[in-house]
């Protein structure tokens, strides 16, 4: 018996016309469509006249349901996976199923299409050559602080997803971590009638949403830390003493040169290589 195939199908993030001819054909021909929310997806499928059977596959049944889907795939069925919007797996269910399918040697293929982060990045005007995608910031405080801390030195463009009711809190925390002057493009309701992409500093964005209610779904595209900001911060970190003077002070506490440089690196949040370079230039 031949093995089936798992098709990861990207669906619209707003505008129903944003769906590829190939996705429509695969959804039509599949034996089964696994959908994050079957009620939600039925609307899209009806719009395109597709009546392939649906089964739910979401965050809360992702392990048990994956087993069931894998058995069906091993029997030769063709299964399409879709989420409520955009590309499955990207801040959406699917990862567990894909991993299991690959472990079982089941062919997996991805049919590209809409993805909110790529749509936002491409229209943001923020440098797009190098970027990091953080999805939604963790809700748990400690984890959230750690992620925000890790973003402080990030030089690449940073992309986040956010729900409207958490937007203000997130903007405030980003300002505290990255600075009030950091620029960002706030993209909302992409591909929909009220699509908006506004460029602000974090301070301006906070003021803007101080006066109006956040509405719709958001992608935040933040500029990475500039080289100049990093340089200025490093200079400030040394205070009134030169790196050489700091080194002497560390060695005065009984550390040898290597240990003193290691301690400086930890205290100033720099790599040992950077400390070495700064000492050469001081």
> What residue ranges bind ligand SAM (CB under 6 A)?
13-14, 83, 85-87, 90-92, 115-117, 161-163, 187-192, 217-219
Between 128 and 237, whose beta carbon lies closer to ligand SAM?
128
Cβ at position 135, least distance to ligand SAM in Å: 8
Q: Is residue 147 helix, strand or coil? A: helix
Q: Which is nearer to ligand SAM, 185 or 260 (by Cβ)?
A: 185
Q: Residue 45 in 3-state DSSP?
A: helix
Angle at which helix 202-211 crosses helix 167-178, to 10 degrees, equals: 160
Choice between 86 and 224, CB closer to ligand SAM:
86
Compute the distance between CA of residue 147 and CA of residue 141 in angstroms, rounded to an integer: 10
User: Which residue's CB atom is positioned nearest to ligand SAM?
Assistant: 86
* Minimum distance, C-beta of residue 190 to ligand SAM, in the bound complex (Å): 3
Secondary structure letter of residue 224 according to DSSP: P
Residue 150 C-beta: closest distance to ligand SAM, Å: 20
Q: How far is the CB of 11 from ligand SAM (least distance, A)?
A: 9
**Residue 223 has what DSSP assignment?**
P
Residues pairing with 54 in the sheet:
33
Q: Pick the closer one to ligand SAM by CB: 6 or 190.
A: 190
Distance CA 112, CA 153 (A): 32
Alpha carbon distance, N-terminus to C-terminus of the chain:
72
* Residue closer to ligand SAM, measured from CB, 134 or 162: 162
Q: CA-CA distances (angstroms) from residue 98 to 73, 163, 260?
A: 12, 26, 48
CB of 163 to ligand SAM, least distance (A): 5
User: What is the token pair recorded at 43?
Assistant: 């609307």
Closest distance of CB 220 from ligand SAM, Å: 8
Residue 194 or residue 235: which is nearer to ligand SAM going by CB?
A: 194
Structure tokens at 118: 């790529």
Q: State whether residue 164 is helix, strand or coil.
A: helix
- Which lies closer to ligand SAM via its Cβ, residue 59 or residue 103? 59
Nearest approach in angstroms of CB 114 to ligand SAM is 6
The answer to whether the CB of 73 falls within 8 A of the CB of 79 is yes
CA 118 to chain centre: 10
């Amino acid at each position: 018996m031949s093995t089936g195939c798992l098709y990861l199908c990207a669906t619209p993030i707003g505008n129903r016309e944003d769906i590829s001819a190939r996705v429509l054909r695969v959804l039509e021909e599949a034996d089964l469509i696994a959908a994050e929310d079957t009620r939600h997806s039925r609307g899209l499928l009806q719009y395109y006249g597709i009546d392939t059977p649906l089964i739910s596959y979401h965050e809360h049944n992702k392990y048990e349901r994956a087993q069931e889907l894998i058995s069906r795939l091993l029997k030769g069925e063709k299964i399409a996976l879709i989420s409520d919007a955009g590309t499955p797996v990207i801040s959406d269910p699917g990862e567990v199923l894909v991993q299991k399918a690959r472990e079982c040697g089941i062919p997996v293929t991805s049919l590209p299409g809409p993805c909110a982060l790529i749509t936002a990045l491409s229209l943001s005007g923020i440098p797009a050559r190098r970027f990091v995608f953080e999805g939604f910031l963790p809700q748990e405080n400690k984890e959230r602080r750690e992620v925000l801390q890790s973003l402080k030195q990030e030089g690449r463009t940073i992309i986040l997803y956010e729900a409207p009711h958490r937007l203000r809190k997130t903007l405030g925390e980003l300002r505290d971590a990255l600075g009030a002057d950091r620029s960002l493009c706030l993209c909302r309701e992409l591909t929909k009638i009220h699509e908006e992409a506004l460029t602000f500093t974090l301070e301006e964005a906070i003021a803007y949403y101080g006066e109006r209610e956040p509405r719709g779904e958001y992608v935040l595209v933040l500029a990475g830390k500039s080289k100049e900001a990093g340089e200025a911060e490093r200079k400030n970190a040394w205070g009134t003493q030169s790196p050489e003077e700091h080194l002497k002070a560390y060695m005065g506490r009984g550390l040898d040169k290597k240990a003193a440089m290691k301690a400086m690196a930890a205290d100033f949040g720099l790599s040992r290589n950077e400390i070495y370079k700064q000492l050469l230039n001081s």
